[in-house]
């Protein structure tokens, strides 16, 4: 099973947003993100707030652009994926 199958709708949007930023050299215009994710600007703002809830320094949001401040190492990416998965309504952690 792929991790993406465990995401609820909102978690999948967060994952997709971070993936797009990563693929486009860690920064992308807000309008391009909205178009690619098929979301509105207020929804993009909500997603960035949720992401900054994981780590307040993860994203830099400017007037026209969003910048991902994620180091290029697998441990940081795995940790972030774990946080997104654990916040998903479809994912349950068994004690």
Q: What angle do CA 28, 76, 20 make, to 5 degrees?
A: 25
Q: Whole-angstrom Cα distance, residue 49 to residue 93?
A: 24
pLDDT for the residue 60: 92
Question: Residue 67 — φ and ψ, nearest 5°?
Answer: -120, 130
pLDDT for the residue 3: 56
The DSSP call for residue 75 is: H
Instruction: Give the tens place of pLDDT for each residue, 5-24.
Output: 666 788 788 888 888 888 88
User: Per-residue pLDDT for 4 more than 60?
Assistant: no
pLDDT for the residue 33: 95
Instruction: Give the tens place of pLDDT for each residue, 47-90.
Output: 999 888 877 888 899 999 999 887 654 455 566 666 666 666 55
- Grouping H, G, I as helix, E, B as strand and the rest as coil, residue 68 is strand
């Amino acid at each position: 099973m792929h991790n993406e199958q465990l995401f609820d709708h909102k978690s999948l949007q967060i994952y997709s947003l971070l993936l797009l930023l990563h693929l486009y050299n860690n920064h992308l215009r807000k309008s391009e993100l909205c178009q690619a994710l098929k979301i509105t600007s207020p929804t993009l703002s909500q997603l960035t707030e949720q992401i900054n809830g994981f780590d307040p320094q993860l994203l830099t949001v400017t007037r026209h652009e969003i910048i991902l401040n994620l180091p290029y190492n697998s441990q940081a990416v795995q940790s972030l994926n774990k946080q997104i998965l654990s916040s998903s309504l479809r994912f349950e952690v068994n004690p």
